[in-house]
Structures are given as C-alpha cells and as structure tokens.
Amino acid sequence: MEFCPSVKNILLLDLEGKRIAVKYYSNDWPTNNAKEAFEKAVFNKTQKTNARTKAEIAMFENKIVVYKFVQDIHFYVTRGEDENEIILATVLQGFFDAVGILLRGNVDKNEALENLDLI
C-alpha cells in the first residue's frame, strides 16, 4: 500500500454505459480504447445492481470500484485493491455532493452535459 492512497479514475456514465465525463489519474489504461473497454466492463458488471440510495462496492480487475446511481447518471470511483474502501466511498460521496451543488440539485444527464465545464 502506498503512503498516500490515490484514486485511479472517476467516471460519470449514462444509462447505456457511455461517457458523460471521465478523468483518469493513472496509466493503468494507456490507450483510449483500453479506457473505454474498462468503462464498458465496469458498467456491464454493475448495471443490474441497486446502488440508488447508498454507494456499493465491487472488486473488478484487481481494483476496488465504488459506485452510486442517481437518476440517469452512474458515478464510479476506482482504486487499487489494497486501498481502504471506506475512504473511496467518502471520495465518491464528496464528488457526488459537489456535482449536486454545481448542478443546483438537478443531477441528470442533460443537466450534466449542459454544464460539463463545471464538472
């Protein structure tokens, strides 16, 4: 485990698993195709779960993925498998709260796309 834990990526996907906004902080996925394949695979693994009221945690490709669904947006945060999932859930909640504030409580795909520069 690293001294300072780090987030591998933050993903906002729509109901079909397509990108709304993504940010990668690691070179674990060196190409755009690798990133898109990871996003699609994570979406396929989690889409049938009910992560509407609270964050859910899943292991995927030796990484911890914490995710939450709100209306038509799926929020994901990923870290290495040896990291603390409680910290990751806190990062996800902080990001979700910030997006909610920036979008004035109207967290949906259309509002997110119209205000992408804020996110």
Q: How far is CA 5 from CA 37, 57, 80, in A?
A: 24, 17, 9
> How many whole angstroms separate alpha carbon 119 and alpha carbon 112?
7
Give me the percent of the chain exceeding a pLDDT of 90.
47
Beta bridge partners of 69: 74
Domain range holding 58? 9-114
Spatial strand order in the sheet of 73-80: 19-24, 9-13, 73-80, 63-70, 56-60
Instruction: Give a yes or no: residue 1 inside a domain.
Output: no
> How many whole angstroms separate alpha carbon 23 and alpha carbon 51?
21
pLDDT at 76 over 90: yes
Amino acid 3: pLDDT: 58
CATH number at residue 93: 3.30.450.60
Instruction: Give a yes or no: residue 76 inside a domain.
Output: yes
What mean pLDDT is predicted for residues 92-98?
91
Instruction: Give a yes or no: residue 3 inside a domain.
Output: no
> How many whole angstroms separate alpha carbon 67 and alpha carbon 74?
7
Instruction: Give a yes or no: residue 44 inside a domain.
Output: yes
- Given the DSSP bridges, would you call strands 56-60 and 9-13 parallel, antiparallel or unpaired? unpaired
pLDDT at 49 over 90: no
Question: In whole numbers, what is the pLDDT of the chain averaged over residues?
Answer: 88
Beta bridge partners of 21: 12
Instruction: Give a yes or no: residue 71 inside a domain.
Output: yes
Instruction: Give a yes or no: residue 69 inside a domain.
Output: yes
Instruction: Give a yes or no: residue 119 inside a domain.
Output: no
Tell me how many domains the chain contains. Answer: 1
